[in-house]
Amino acid sequence: MDYSGVFPFLKAEEIEASEEEVRRVLETLQQGDGAGGEYTGWLRYPESIPEGELRKMETLAEEVRAEADAFVVIGIGGSYLGARAVIEGLSHSFPSLLSPSRSQSPLVFFAGQNLSGSYLEELLEVLEDRSVYVNMISKSGTTTEPGLAFRVLRRHLIERYGQKGASRRIISTTDSAKGALRKVTDEEGYRSFVIPDDIGGRFSVLTPVGLFPIAVAGIRIDTLVEGAASMIEPCSMPGLFQNPAALYAATRNLLLEKGYSTEVLVSYDPKLQYFAEWWKQLYGESEGKDGKGIFPASVLFTSDLHSMGQWIQEGRRTIFETVIHIDQEDSTLQVPVDASGLEDGLGYLEGRTWPEIQDKAYEGTKLAHHQGNVPVLVLEAPTRDAFTLGQMIQFFETACGISGYLLGVNPFNQPGVEAYKQNMFALLGKPGFEEKAAELEASSRGSSEEKLV
């Protein structure tokens, strides 16, 4: 991690002065005796995941890859974002357009992450002539969005393959002993994986929640886990300047104290777009409570330099950037020599590679934003592969736990998520929410006195 871009907005002595507090909260996180400490099983999970569990996932993934043209992952929030981040980060940009001879995996689709009926209808159209497997991911099985999607897709499978055939094509990832999904799994004989009790959804990408879909996509999950495991020791070091996760957590909280209340995660690689979405949930849901928290945002450069670039350069100075910089972009494409006399002003770039051009754009942008009074942190990654993505996941998760405790919140709960659910249940007439429905109706009558024009 290169944190030189936080100066002069922070002073070196300010970072050094935070070391003792950072050490204290790191110990709290590691010992599991802080708020939400019962959900810190992810801290060392990559080095303790049973070998048999990995083999089970890989074996079932091979079956799906051999028999399916389409694999649908049903889940919302942490039950799908991590898997999608890794799959899109390491897969071909246009998988549906590859010729069958080049396509090594079924197409992976996602459902249950929204309440759009047209999305589901269009997904069913796509699945109509394809061999389909489904992975339903839910701790309880009663979350509205994935639960409704599962009803639709389960019916689709039963109509096409019969009850027994559908049961063979449905794999669940759920609680080991309780919940609606566990019950139907046992009754219907679905094959299943278990969500560890001590790992919450947004920290679950390196459990079967994320690993099984990632394996179906043809990605080496053992390499992903190895990368994550390699970061456990560095992110456990007690010294602030030896522990990259602790240094990142401390620096972002010190910037918050200076009024930098929005963190913008920057990538120059379109394949990391969903990694940014995963990161936003991780930090937004972990820190945004009790009136506190840094607002997590993301941009994709250079695309967003032509839309958000002006605001970042000269807007309100309440933002800082964390840039994911890939040192070795895996393209050898060169700017062709044009002999036709095309006057596009780009002749000076002839023969240069796209990674070289992109790297100069990165350097120029970083300098411009820093000169525009934006603090800039840079996370250097050698390449974008399974090992490195595993490292990045473990790094960001550990830093999130440290940062939440530095902020003074429980980074492992999400009480605010229930607010919209309570209102939605009442408005939909769910049994047991009659009193809430009456409250909402009374509130609606009161507000209707003020007419909107």
What the block records as the tokens of 58 is 């890989």
| Beta strands 132-137 and 107-111, pairing class | unpaired
SS (H, E, C) 289-325: CCCCCCEEEEEECCHHHHCCHHHHHHCCCCEEEEEEE
| Beta strands 70-74 and 132-137, pairing class | parallel
Residue 125 amino acid letter? E
Q: DSSP 3-state assignment of 197?
A: coil
User: 10 Å Cβ neighbour count for 311?
Assistant: 12
> How far is the C-alpha of 235 from the C-alpha of 285, rounded, in Å?
21
Active site residues: 285, 306, 421
What the block records as the tokens of 341 is 């006399």
> How far is the C-alpha of 105 from the C-alpha of 116, rounded, in Å?
27
| Beta strands 191-194 and 107-111, pairing class | unpaired
> By the 8 A CB rule, do 175 and 139 touch?
yes
